[in-house]
Amino acid sequence: MIVEYARSRPWKSSASVAIAVASLSLLCSGCSVAEGPVLDPKGPIALTERDLLFRATAIMMIVIIPVFIMAAWFTVRYRGTNRKARYAPNFDFYWPAEIVVWSVPAAIVVWLAFHLWEYTYKLDPYTEIDPSVKPLQVQAIAQDWKWLFVYPEQNIAVVNELAVPVGRPVSIDITSDTVMNSLVIPALGGQIYAMAGMQTRLNLLADEEGTFWGRNVQYSGRGFADQQFQTLAMPQEAFDSWVQKAKDSSNALDAATYEVLAKPSEKVPVTYYSGVEPNLFECIIGKYSHGDADRMPRSSKAQLTE
């Protein structure tokens, strides 16, 4: 299970780790944690992804650090005023140098490939995080320019706000009712594309309470910059209260209301719906199933021609 794997392999102290952390700290010295949530994960998926980033950086330091050291040494050693430096204008081959130049980068590529191959399967977004726990089902629908989150089991829907219980896996089915989008919550996991007529999936888990930023990272038109949302990770009791808050809303997401909501709009405030049109998610996917542009909503066709 992904959770057990992430928690059973804590980031151990070593020279390579120290180098990776120091390098990333230098690169991100002008960023706060809020601006770089990838380095401050709040779930096992994001934690494993961060550790893989550190490990890959440490591996690449094997060639990067010697290059910088040699660049400085060559500059000093072969400066114009150093008459003792060896001058060999006809030098064209030295087999020890050839071995180093080719073998070290090749070894790094193989080493990185090994890690990426392993983690490609461990971090498959379709894989359940903990099969022994029933995940919370959420349906994410990308629109122009907002996110609609449907909770089929609770029969509620929310615009631009996603709530999840701490410690419980969440399975998000994703699609688009417009052009291609991409959903990402950096503090919890990586990005997954949302495409019209198709369904993708993302399994996440938040192991800390908090409010985590999420957004569309695939350019989709003039309102792209503001297509953001907040993910609220809360205890189960607080989540139940949040669900009840949505159920108490006077708005219902029937077919007519959805048609209005799907029209292009920017900076849409958080909106709750106490009921959802049956099979809404499946109907949105089915609308594009034949790839017929004439069946697409006017908003989507307009985006494709912008």
Chain segment 189-236, per-residue pLDDT in tens:
989 999 999 999 999 999 999 999 999 999 999 999 999 999 999 999
Tell me what the mean pLDDT of segment 67-92 comes to.
85
List the single range of 26-40, 52-66, 205-219, 262-276 with lowest mean pLDDT.
Answer: 26-40
Inform me whether the pLDDT recorded for 91 exceeds 50.
Answer: yes
Reported as a pLDDT band with limits 50, 70 and 90, residue 1 is low
Pick the CATH number of 136-305 from 2.60.40.420, 3.60.40.10, 1.10.287.3510, 3.40.50.720: 2.60.40.420
| pLDDT (0 to 100) of residue 155 | 96
Residues of the chain with CATH 2.60.40.420: 136-305
- What is d(CA 181, CA 195) in angstroms, rounded to the nearest whole number? 7
Inform me whether the pLDDT recorded for 151 exceeds 80.
Answer: yes
Higher pLDDT, 99 or 297: 99
- What is d(CA 21, CA 258) in angstroms, rounded to the nearest whole number? 47
| pLDDT (0 to 100) of residue 34 | 44
Three state DSSP letters for the chain: CHHHHHHHCCCCCCHHHHHHHHHHHHHCCCCCCCCCHHHCCCCHHHHHHHHHHHHHHHHHHHHHHHHHHHHHHHHHHCCCCCCCCCCCCCCCCCHHHHHHHHHHHHHHHHHHHHHHHHHHHHCCCCCCCCCCCCCEEEEEEEECCEEEEEECCCCEEEECEEEEECCCCEEEEEEECCCCEEEECCCCCCCEEECCCCCEEEEECCCCCEEEEEEECCCCCCCHHHCEEEEEEECHHHHHHHHHHHHCCCCCECHHHHHHHCCCCCCCCCEEECCECCCHHHHHHHHCCCCCHHHCCHHHHHHHHC
pLDDT tens for residues 101-125?
A: 888 889 889 988 988 888 888 889 9
pLDDT tens for residues 19-49?
A: 555 555 555 544 444 456 778 899 999 999 9
| pLDDT (0 to 100) of residue 207 | 93
